[in-house]
A and B are shown apart, each in its own frame.
Chain A
């Protein structure tokens, strides 16, 4: 199996939800025309504010949401037959809320063994593997018989990771999986995910609003705003030389004690409602570079300097100029 085999091919995916009553029914477009691929072993980071559509996109990848337009094509390598039945789930997920993700009435060992049990693996065998995985993710043996409520948030998230990888998925979706944890625990779990990724040749879709962590774990990054992918490309290119003013603003929001508060960039206002998106470019209402043309149409992707890097902005050449005008961002 070559490492760059495309596993997920997402083409022009849109997701709309009906909202409101029968008479005032409206469609809310949560995701609009998203296209990207995820290859074996690759980590794609998805960043953006709440309501940008990242989690809806994750739900589409997991098959929990049907796209209203476009397609997701999955191509998974055939499984090596080991003579035993395995969970056929090729995509697994770790959510932010580990307490809600685990059954409060099951011991964590049972929870981790459950995916294998569900596909016919014997109890003894499933438990044996669950013990191995729990040790592997750093939960000491004496805690395997505990219930979720008895563990800390960091430990519970380790359990969720063990449960997600025990069936050997090809893709792991991490939806704000580290966001509720302390900084010290985040570092521990970033390291754990990095190890698992290499050992299992796991592809990851890593959704987070924490740009520092995304920069650390992802090779490719997609920036979402109001349901649209507005910038996409190799992580280094997107972070070092952002071509979309929104990406620039997100980067400027990362706390940096060395820059006095008053001199820090700040994006004005909040994201508009997805029910009434602005005409033209959806970011224009908060954009310091916006002018008349931006109200006319959503810009098509314009390529950046590095191959594979693009941004949906008419004035992407001017984004660098924003450094000189902190108050404007």
Chain B
């Protein structure tokens, strides 16, 4: 792994928001990871773990008035946290594409699919109308939409959830991004459509040599697809490493718990599940020690007083746990 040549380099990224009484609440703590060209990175964690906040901070999508971001986000060597608004607009939807969970909210209800596709293309480059149409048709059929001619004239409400997610993907891909950030892209969909979309994302990334950051709460869904996995809990990275290593031999107790708690198709009915006890930490009330300690089955005295730092283990991954030292 070389230190140079990465597409996206995130260092010490911390996001703070203003609370109701004006106090500063820290949502993420020193998040650091890299995305290399063509690489698929899974950002995994429960609601409130800080994964979506991290993605939004990278793209500068958080409300400026109430949030403070510190650290560094380097996109192909260029610092994004200090970049101008117009430069960010050129990157978003241009070099970096984004798809989110709620495709109905992401699409404009009063414009046709064709209009929204040409708008996305037109805001980044000047193309003759005929070429935009050709590109739109090609993209729609690439993402598996049948009868693209008709779909161009349809409105979002006329499409199924899976179809809308495909349209969103076509829009995200229309300017041939180097990186696609996909925030829970399949969560709201049926299993059959989920399987189709995951396969489609993997294929598109491979064929285009496009890198991807896949944000999800379901480690099982992405483990087979990702090169690298970043596990977040309570606004911190707790484990990061190659997908194979992290999935097969999780080191951090939270990663292990996340894998153990999932109801698996293979698990025999009637066997006891292993839910993670307790609830996710409240960022407004930070506790001393390891952020996972209150729910950790292996916690000992030190865990409640001293926060572990991320350390590199012999197999190349990093984990923040006193037990893995």
Q: Residues on A close to B: CB < 8 A? A: 49-51, 152-155, 182-188, 190-191, 209-213, 215-217, 235-236, 239, 249-262, 264-267, 269-270
> How distant is the Cα of A216 from the Cα of B272 in the complex, in angstroms?
10
Nearest CB on A from B188, distance (A): 9
* Contact indicator B273/A187 (Cβ below 8 Å): yes
> How distant is the Cα of A128 from the Cα of B257 in the complex, in angstroms?
36
* Contact indicator B275/A187 (Cβ below 8 Å): yes
| Cβ-defined partner of A266 (8 Å) among B195, B221, B225, B264 | B195
* Contact indicator B263/A261 (Cβ below 8 Å): no
* Contact indicator A261/B225 (Cβ below 8 Å): yes
Nearest CB on A from B227, distance (A): 13
Nearest CB on A from B67, distance (A): 21
Contact A215 to B262, CB < 8 A, known contacts A257-B224, A270-B163: no
**Closest Cβ neighbor of B196 among chain A residues:** A266
Q: Does B324 contact A (CB under 8 A)?
A: no
**Which residues of chain B are within 8 angstroms of A187 by Cβ–Cβ distance?**
261-263, 273-276
14 cross-chain CB contacts under 8 A: A49-B192, A187-B273, A190-B263, A191-B275, A212-B263, A212-B267, A216-B267, A249-B192, A255-B195, A256-B220, A257-B224, A257-B247, A261-B202, A261-B224
Contact A270 to B220, CB < 8 A, known contacts A211-B191, A261-B198: no
**Contact residue range for chain B?**
35 or more
| Cβ-defined partner of A153 (8 Å) among B47, B263, B273 | B47
**Which residues of chain B are within 8 angstroms of A267 by Cβ–Cβ distance?**
192, 195-196
Q: Does B308 contact A (CB under 8 A)?
A: no
Please indicate which of the listed interface residues A51, A187, A190, A262 has the most CB atoms of chain B within 10 Å of its own CB. A187
4 nearest A-B residue pairs (beta carbon)? A257-B223, A187-B275, A257-B224, A188-B275
**Closest Cβ neighbor of A192 among chain B residues:** B275
**Which residues of chain A are within 8 angstroms of B224 by Cβ–Cβ distance?**
255-261
**Which residues of chain B are within 8 angstroms of A249 by Cβ–Cβ distance?**
192
**Which residues of chain A are within 8 angstroms of B198 by Cβ–Cβ distance?**
255, 261
| Cβ-defined partner of B265 (8 Å) among A186, A188, A211 | A211
* Contact indicator B217/A183 (Cβ below 8 Å): yes
Contact residues, B14-51 vs A (CB, 8 A): 46-48
Contact residues, B244-301 vs A (CB, 8 A): 247, 257-258, 261-265, 267, 269, 272-276, 279-280
Nearest CB on A from B316, distance (A): 19
Q: Residues on B close to A: CB < 8 A? A: 46-48, 146, 160-163, 190-196, 198-199, 202, 217-221, 223-225, 247, 257-258, 261-265, 267, 269, 272-276, 279-280
Please indicate which of the listed interface residues A182, A210, A250 has the most CB atoms of chain B within 10 Å of its own CB. A182
**Which residues of chain A are within 8 angstroms of B223 by Cβ–Cβ distance?**
257
* Contact indicator B190/A190 (Cβ below 8 Å): no
Nearest CB on A from B200, distance (A): 10
Contact A215 to B195, CB < 8 A, known contacts A152-B279, A183-B262, A255-B221: no
**Which residues of chain B are within 8 angstroms of A186 by Cβ–Cβ distance?**
263
| Cβ-defined partner of B261 (8 Å) among A50, A155, A183 | A183
> How distant is the Cα of A149 from the Cα of B85 in the complex, in angstroms?
34
Nearest CB on A from B131, distance (A): 29
**Which residues of chain A are within 8 angstroms of B195 by Cβ–Cβ distance?**
252-253, 255, 264-267
* Contact indicator A264/B199 (Cβ below 8 Å): yes
> How distant is the Cα of A51 from the Cα of B224 in the complex, in angstroms?
29
> How distant is the Cα of A254 from the Cα of B202 in the complex, in angstroms?
16
Nearest CB on B from A208, distance (A): 10
| Cβ-defined partner of A270 (8 Å) among B162, B194, B219, B269 | B162
**Which residues of chain A are within 8 angstroms of B274 by Cβ–Cβ distance?**
187
Contact A255 to B218, CB < 8 A, known contacts A182-B47, A261-B198, A261-B224: yes
> How distant is the Cα of A152 from the Cα of B262 in the complex, in angstroms?
20
| Cβ-defined partner of A250 (8 Å) among B163, B192, B199, B261 | B192
**Closest Cβ neighbor of A268 among chain B residues:** B196
* Contact indicator A184/B163 (Cβ below 8 Å): no
Nearest CB on B from A313, distance (A): 18
Contact A215 to B191, CB < 8 A, known contacts A191-B273, A261-B202: no
Please indicate which of the listed interface residues B195, B257, B267, B272 has the most CB atoms of chain A within 10 Å of its own CB. B195
**Which residues of chain B are within 8 angstroms of A266 by Cβ–Cβ distance?**
192, 195-196, 199
Nearest CB on B from A11, distance (A): 28
**Which residues of chain A are within 8 angstroms of B196 by Cβ–Cβ distance?**
266-267
* Contact indicator A184/B258 (Cβ below 8 Å): yes
